Amino acid sequence: LSLKDEADVKKLGRGLLAIGGAHAVYLLGLGVFAYAAAGSTTDLAVSRITLLDPRTTMPLFLACPAFGLALLAEGRLRGRTMGLALVGLGTIGALATQTRAQLLAIAVAILFFGLLFLIRRPTKTAMTTAIALCMLGALTVATVPPLRSLAMVVVERQRELGDNARLEDEWLPALQLWERRGPLASAVGIGLGEPIRTFSGDEKTYIHNQAIYNLVYTGYVGLMMVYGVYFASLFVFLRRFWRDRSVYDLGAAACLLAIMVYALFFAVHKLLSFNLMLFTLVAMAMRQSGPPTFAEEESAA
Q: Model confidence over 215-236: pLDDT tens digits?
A: 999 999 999 999 999 999 999 9
Phi, psi (5° rounding) for residue 87?
A: -60, -45
Q: Is the pLDDT of residue 17 over 80?
A: yes
* Mean pLDDT for the stretch of residues 197-206: 82
- What angle, 0 to 180 degrees and rounded to 10, lies between the N-to-C axes of helices 63-74 and 100-120? 20
Instruction: Check residue 169 and give its pLDDT.
Output: 84
The pLDDT of residue 118 is 92
Which residues have a Cβ under 8 Å from the Cβ of 101 and sit 6 or more positions away?
A: 261, 262, 264, 265, 266
Residue 59 amino acid letter: P
Neighbours of 189 (CB within 10 A): 22
Whole-prediction pTM value? 0.89
**Alpha-carbon distance 118 to 210, whole Å?**
31
Residues 6+ apart with CB under 8 A from 107: none
Residue 264 CA to residue 102 CA, distance in Å, equals 11
Other CB atoms closer than 10 Å to residue 252's CB: what's the count? 32
Q: Which of 126-135, 139-148, 187-196, 215-224 has the highest mean pLDDT?
A: 215-224
What percent of the chain clears pLDDT 70, i.e. is strictly above it? Answer: 92
Between strands 203-204 and 196-197, the pairing is: antiparallel
Give mean pLDDT, residues 17-43: 88
Q: Which is nearest to 144 in space by CA: 101, 92, 188?
A: 92
Q: Is the pLDDT of residue 269 over 80?
A: yes
Cβ contacts of 243 within 8 Å, gap of 6 or more? 292
Q: Residue 175 contacts by C-beta under 8 Å, 6 or more apart in sequence?
A: 212, 215, 216
Q: Considering just the CA atoms, what is the radius of gyration of the chain in Å?
A: 21
